[in-house]
Amino acid sequence: MHTEHIKIERLEAAETDLLRAAEILRSGGLVVFPTETVYGLGGNALDAHAAERIYAAKGRPSDNPLIIHVAFPEEAERYAYPNKTYYRLAKAFMPGPLTVILPKKENIPTTVTGGLDSVAVRCPSHPVAHRLIELAGVPIAAPSANLSGKPSPTAACHVAEDLDGRVQMILDGGESEIGLESTIVKIDGDTLTLLRPGGITYDALCMVCDKVTVAPAVTHRLAENERPLSPGMKYRHYAPSAPVVLLDGDEKQVLAFLKAEQERTSCAILCYDEELLRLAPVNLFPIGPKDDLATQAKRLFSALREADSANAEMIYAHLPPMEGIGLALYNRMIRAAAHTVKTIAQ
Ligand code: AMP
Ligand code: MG
């Protein structure tokens, strides 16, 4: 399949291309589009065949459900049964990086929901995503636009690496603003369960809902045969081919450990910007200033891809704190590392 690559500089100048992209979606084809979280691999969410094409293009197991994207929060009513809590969340956080799990209506094929009777709904804030969904006139099912097991794409070049020849069109809208996938919550009456942390933080959710619990799989390894609340939790995502080890401990001690490891092995390091001049200048992938978790979130996936292509024996990174967007970083990194944390003792 030939993949058309379209660069979008200004939304107003892109209407003709977006109309063509919308037509591809309506007729069952696949279009990759930018969102504020990561790039999405879109297909018509009302068309079971389009959903099958999405799973095939990604090489994704079909029991791992897709998120449906709508142009306006109230459109959820056409495809699901939202309650008061949904509307409280929508008022506070939509459009934006929040996905809500709701009981699904008949018109959403079970292929989209991996056989579940619930559906994940999100209303993205990225202007290109918003306009595309509006023009398509149908909800867009879209997982992250990477091959299954690769880090999510935060730039169109990552998408091209993974999906060139597998989709009709890639819309390049520049670098993703947040860089980690959406926060996912499940509503039970007035209680929220945080299934996946993202740009909308635990603290922000607590400002809107009194009862918010964090699903254990966000921070801990699932036991053998344990059934996760969200099917995606059981897959090892974001995994580079080299083993990833997260380092915990005193800053100076960790730096000394990294220096020693650089002499001993061919390791790649996801370092803080401040460490760039303190380490040997080989296979260093800066993810941002130590105290700037938002920048680290934005750069993580791109740094993981680059570190992976360095063909190092091992990839080291810092264990992030679990505060604010740090919880989302922690969740992605701990999974990339298959929960391998090394504590550097004094
Ligand atoms: P991705 O689209 O790659 O960001 O992944 C979407 C994630 O949303 C999946 O891995 C699922 O775990 C989660 N998800 C989607 N639909 C549901 C649902 N109905 N119930 C629980 N989790 C869901
Ligand atoms: Mg994904």
Ligand 1 probe mutation, 38, 39, 62, 67, most atoms within 8 A of CB? 67
pLDDT tens figures, 22-47: 999 999 999 999 999 999 999 999 99
Judge if the beta carbon of residue 144 lies within 6 A of ligand 1.
Answer: yes
Give the contacts of 233 (CB within 8 A, at least 6 positions apart).
195, 196, 215, 217, 222
Preceding omega of 95 cis (within 30 degrees of 0): yes
Query: Which string of DSSP letters, residue by residue, matches 116-130?
Result: -SEEEEE----HHHH
Residue nearest to atom 1 of ligand 1 (CA): 143
| Burial group, residue 14, by CB count within 10 angstroms (0-12, 13-18, 19+) | buried
Give the contacts of 217 (CB within 8 A, at least 6 positions apart).
195, 228, 229, 230, 233
**pLDDT, position 223:** 72
d(CA 100, CA 98): 7
- Cβ atoms of residues 171 and 8 within 8 Å: yes
pLDDT tens figures, 2-25: 999 999 999 999 999 999 999 999
User: What are the counts of helices (DSSP H) followed by strands (DSSP E) for the chain?
Assistant: 10, 15
**pLDDT, position 233:** 63
Predicted model pTM:
0.95
Pairing label, strands 169-172, 98-103? unpaired
**DSSP β-bridge partners for residue 140:** 44, 69
**pLDDT, position 80:** 98
- How far, in Å, from the CA of 279 to the mean position of ligand 2? 32
Residue nearest to atom 22 of ligand 1 (CA): 230
**pLDDT, position 249:** 94
Ligand nearest the Cα of residue 153 is: 2
Ligand 1 probe mutation, 184, 186, 222, 301, most atoms within 8 A of CB? 184
**pLDDT, position 149:** 85
Name residue 137's amino acid.
Answer: G
Residue nearest to atom 23 of ligand 1 (CA): 230
**pLDDT, position 322:** 95
Q: pLDDT means per 10 residues in the chain (346 residues)?
A: 96 95 98 98 98 95 92 98 96 98 97 96 98 98 94 96 97 98 94 97 96 93 71 66 93 96 96 97 97 98 94 95 97 92 88
**pLDDT, position 208:** 95
- How far, in Å, from the CA of 193 to the mean position of ligand 1? 14
Contacts for 213-216: CB closer than 8 Å, 24+ residues apart: 214/327
pLDDT tens figures, 151-163: 999 999 999 999 9
